[in-house]
Amino acid sequence: MIDKLLKIESHNNNLNFTFYIIGSLFLGVAVGLLFGESAEKLHILGDIYIGLLQMTVLPYIVFSLIANIGRLSYFEASLLTRQGLLVLLVLWLIGGVSVWAMSLTLPNIEQGTFFSSLLVKSAPKIDFLQLFIPANPFQSLAQNAVPAVVLFSMLFGTACIGYKDHKSLLDNFSHIAKILLRVNSFVVMLTPIGVFGIAASAAGTLSLDEFGRVQAYILMLIGSVLLVTLVVMPLLISSCTPFSYRQIARESRNVLLTVFIVGSVFVVIPLLIKVISRLFHSHVTTEHEQARIPDLVLPLAYPFPDMGKLLSLVFIVFAAWFYDKPLTLLDYPVMLTIGLFLSFGKLITTLPFLLNLYHIPEDIFNLFMTVGVICGRVADVAGAMHLMTFTILTTALMTGVFKIQWRLLMRNGLISLLLFFCVGLTIRTILEQQAFSGNQNPQILNMRLLNDRVPYTVSSLSQPNPIALKPGQHLIDRIRQTGIIRIGINEDSLPFSFYNTHGQMVGFDIELMLHLAEDLQVAIQFIPYENEHLLQQLDDDHFDIAVSGITPNLSLLAASRMLYSTSYLDVHLALVVPDHQRNKFSDSESILKLKNVQAFVRKESNFATRTQQLLPNFKVTELDSEAEFFNNKEFHDQIILTTAEGGSAWTLLYPDYVVINPFANRQGAPLVIAVSDEDLILEHFLSTWIKIKQTDGTIDTLFAHWIQGETAQASKPRWNIMHYLLNK
């Protein structure tokens, strides 16, 4: 009676704790909406909470696996290896296929992104030997190589089977594992605080568009969990055992509801064993008394990855899609295999590792933690059903009542596929409607200058300077004398010089030249030029200097026909290709195999002289600018060789294109200011001035704004309730 009362009290405490967590989630969201971006500082609470949760993961894996496996008898170990492992593999296969099936629900949203440094970083190579083989277990622990740690623990536990003096060792390991669970339970008490910090930070900084896209992960996870838990696994049991779908649903409903409320699979293990035993005792008569008791079978599966953890890997699929780096079909077997091994631990360890593995910014992990309170409970429901399915099928194999009814299995399989199709189509429809209901105006065209202190004009025509140079006079002398510096620009060179939606000439190079004029204390007159006429216009004194993403032309430099300043920004060579062709140009080896591909490159650029070396089998045509390529429908479905920095900006306007950097050695070139070959003094001045701007942070600020888009919304602070009330 006392035990029963204690269980009721414990259950009530769990319910109260759940309410605290949900309450802290809503409170965090409210604080984020109230204070806006100021609430971002609260993310430290979430960081501390996540770090403390990760603290006990690997030690618990080691001691728990060794203790559980080492206590098995040879018969039990053989049983797990033969029947149990077979069932586990089937369930893991179902989970993996479900993750892949859910990926098909993600619509192909054509939405370009600002430049990311990930485009020019070499993707980390997977050292499978180090990841899976524990040559140095301590190094594997230090490097968070979970698969290697799991393999070491399983081998150690297996070696303990049958060893006569292993009892005291395994008892100690079991006690350590229990103590680690207690440590973890202390940390779990901080969950409301951690959830509050994460929710407040996310609600205060996330835009509505970003939060709208997070719903893709939520819908994918809920859809897959409901289908696998309520349809696939129960139908699989009914196809291979004497139990009907109705019996399975009746016995499992209370367990699944309890798991969702409490948020822990571990606490319902006794309840699972009870309902499974009742199911077998009520409906199956067998002489195999020991094998009929699930007390032995179910604990064997608990240390292994369950369906809930496996289905949670849809977050990696979502994250790759979110950053426009969708996984290919061949990526799924690798991702799911590694994710399966990593899932011996906790998702807070698994997901960051996979994000890093696939070169996805880890910042998105905060989104996972934000919705983790609900999604974690949803995944736990699948985990509980996984244990129930494993135990029922394995026990049925042991008792001899396992019999595949092929006709019923095929019918149930078709039902499952049909439901997957219907749910997937529904999710895809919702996401497509959400995607296309938002503002489709490219963000880059709304950007404004950060520096508006310098007056400037943009000429409609290009003419020689009305004030000619006097004999022996240098350009910089004339600039100071007239109080005007004339600068040549290409008017369609995103993101360096272009017109925004307000009709203003803006861009990285425009802003940089404003700083130059400010330091010289002169005004600016921008003069348009076309690339093919740049040299002639410089020679004819149409402008003093020229910018707009200019890369040095070595042939002109060698012929002493033009001077170039030192580099103010190093850019990286890339291809801009139609989104549906991204796989054709994924790496340099694939490109070398292609024949008769039409490609374009900017005329007189540094890359134009290197195309034969980089793209030997391509037919390369030079164009005056990238704008000519994108604005000409005749060139649709073709590719252009340009910079990763500039190409990313163009994909914002033309989202059906994507930037690919397939060059193994990360080819690049400097951006420079062009000067007439007759004025070394101005060239030296500009080079020195550039060095100053690079060291005082000016160029870094412009890069973050115009290239990476990090401050693109600076002129429009994120809405929050406090700001609204104070300014009402």
Are residues 607 and 698 located together in one domain of the fold? no
Residue written as tokens 């993101």? 495
- Residue 54 CA neighbour count, 13 Å, CB half: 17
CATH code, 703: 3.40.190.10
Residue 652 maps to a domain: yes
Q: What was the pLDDT predicted at 265? A: 75
Q: Are strands 597-602 and 639-643 parallel, antiparallel or unpaired?
A: parallel
CATH number at residue 349: 1.10.3860
Q: Taking residues 659-669, what's their average pLDDT?
A: 76
Highest mean pLDDT, choosing among 48-62, 378-392, 504-518, 593-607: 504-518
What is the per-residue pLDDT for 118?
Answer: 64
Q: Are residues 546 and 622 in the same domain?
A: no
| Residue 282 maps to a domain | yes
Does the residue 723 lie in any domain? no
Contact 657, 600 (CB under 8 A): no
What is the per-residue pLDDT for 262? 56
* pLDDT at residue 412, rounded to an integer: 93
Distance of CA 446 to the CA centre of its chain: 26
Q: Which among 363-377, 458-472, 509-523, 597-611 has the top mean pLDDT?
A: 509-523
Residue-wise pLDDT for 241-251, tens only, equals: 989 999 898 88
d(CA 256, CA 265): 9
pLDDT band at 288 (very low <50, low <70, confident <90, very high): very low
How much is the average pLDDT of 180-193? 77
- Say yes or no: 524 and 640 in one domain: no
Element (H, E) at 95: helix 85-103
State how far the alpha carbon of 113 is from the alpha carbons of 63, 116, 444, 612, in Å: 45, 8, 10, 29
Q: How confident is the model at residue 535 (pLDDT cuts 50, 70, 90)?
A: confident
Confidence of residue 6 (pLDDT cuts 50, 70, 90): very low
Kindly state whether residue 493 falls inside one of the protein's structural domains: yes
Q: Is the pLDDT of residue 462 over 90?
A: no
- Residue 227 or residue 24, greater confidence: 227
* Whole-number pLDDT of residue 7: 47
pLDDT band at 107 (very low <50, low <70, confident <90, very high): confident
Residue bearing the bigger pLDDT, 496 or 561:
496
Residues 71 and 201 in one domain: yes
What is residue 525's predicted lDDT score, i.e. its pLDDT? 95
Cα distances (Å, whole numbers) of residue 29 to 26, 197, 221, 246: 5, 9, 22, 40
- pLDDT at 669 (0 to 100): 87
Report yes or no on 719 lying in a domain. Answer: no
Last residue of a domain, one of 431, 459, 478: 431
Q: Are residues 578 and 527 in the same domain?
A: no
pLDDT at 452 over 50: yes
Residue 558 and residue 650 in one domain? no
Give the pLDDT of residue 560.
Answer: 59
- Burial category of 677 from C-beta neighbours within 10 Å (exposed 0-12, middle 13-18, buried 19 and up): middle
* 141 plus 235 within the same structural domain: yes
Q: Which of 653, 671, 689 is the last residue of a domain?
A: 671
Residue 438, pLDDT score = 47
331 against 268, higher pLDDT: 331
Higher pLDDT, 3 or 54: 54
**Domain assignment of residue 640, yes or no:** yes
Domain span including residue 644: 569-671
**Strand-pair category, 456-458 with 505-506:** unpaired
Collect all residues with Cβ–Cβ distance below 8 Å to 194 and sequence separation of at least 6: 45, 46, 48, 49, 50
Given strand 456-458, what is the order of strands in its sheet? 456-458, 523-528, 484-489, 545-546, 674-676, 562-564
Domain annotation covers residue 438? no
With cut-offs at 50, 70 and 90, classify the pLDDT of residue 439.
very low
Q: Which of 421-435, 664-678, 680-694 has the lowest mean pLDDT?
A: 664-678
Say if residue 529 is in the same domain as residue 643. Answer: no
Checking phi first, is residue 324 left (phi over 0); if not, alpha (psi -120 to 50) or beta?
left
Give the mean model confidence (pLDDT) for residues 84-98: 91
All residues at 6 or more sequence positions from 503 whose CB lies less than 8 Å from its CB, including other chains: none
Q: E strands within 384-511?
A: 456-458, 484-489, 498-499, 505-506
Check whether residue 605 and residue 503 sit in a common domain.
Answer: no
Give me the long-range contacts of 578-583 (CB less than 8 A, separation at least 24): 578/636, 578/637, 578/639, 578/656, 578/657, 578/658, 579/108, 579/110, 579/655, 579/656, 579/657, 579/658, 581/637, 581/639, 582/658, 582/660, 583/328
Do residue 512 and residue 632 come from a single domain?
A: no
221 pLDDT above the threshold of 80: yes
Same domain, 370 and 461: no
Q: What is the pLDDT of residues 139-174, one digit of tens each?
A: 888 776 767 787 888 888 888 887 877 788 888 888
Using CA atoms, how far apart are residues 135 and 151, in angstroms rounded to an integer? 11
Q: Does residue 397 register a pLDDT over 80?
A: yes
Which has the minimum average pLDDT: 485-489, 654-658, 724-728? 724-728
Provide the pLDDT confidence category of residue 713 given band limits of 50, 70 and 90.
Answer: very low
Interatomic CA distance for residues 78 and 84, integer angstroms: 9
Q: Return mean pLDDT, the chain.
A: 81
Cα distances from 411 to residues 89, 95, 404, 407, 417, in angstroms, run 22, 20, 12, 6, 10
pTM of the model: 0.64
Task: Identify how many contiguous H helices and E strands the chain contains and give both numbers.
Answer: 34, 14
Contact 352, 255 (CB under 8 A): no
d(CA 40, CA 199): 10
CB 604 within 8 A of CB 533: no
Residue 436, domain member (yes or no): no
Residue 516: predicted pLDDT: 96
154: closest CA among 36, 298, 304, 254? 304
As a three-state string, the secondary structure of 293-333 is CHHHHHHHHCCCCCHHHHHCCHHHHHHHHHCCCCCCCCHHH
Q: For 32-43, write each residue's pLDDT tens digit.
A: 888 877 787 887
Q: What is the pLDDT, as a whole number, of residue 686?
A: 95
Q: What is the mean pLDDT of residues 608-626?
A: 81
Q: Which alpha helices (H) appear in 632-707, and where do they start and end?
A: 644-653, 680-695, 698-702
Domains: count for the chain: 3
Q: Is the pLDDT of residue 618 over 70?
A: yes
Q: Is the domain of 499 the same as that of 645?
A: no
Averaged pLDDT, 437-460? 79
Q: What integer is the mean pLDDT of 252-260?
A: 77
Confidence (pLDDT) at 255? 77
Res. 290 pLDDT band, cuts 50 70 90:
very low
Beta bridge partners of 575: 641, 660
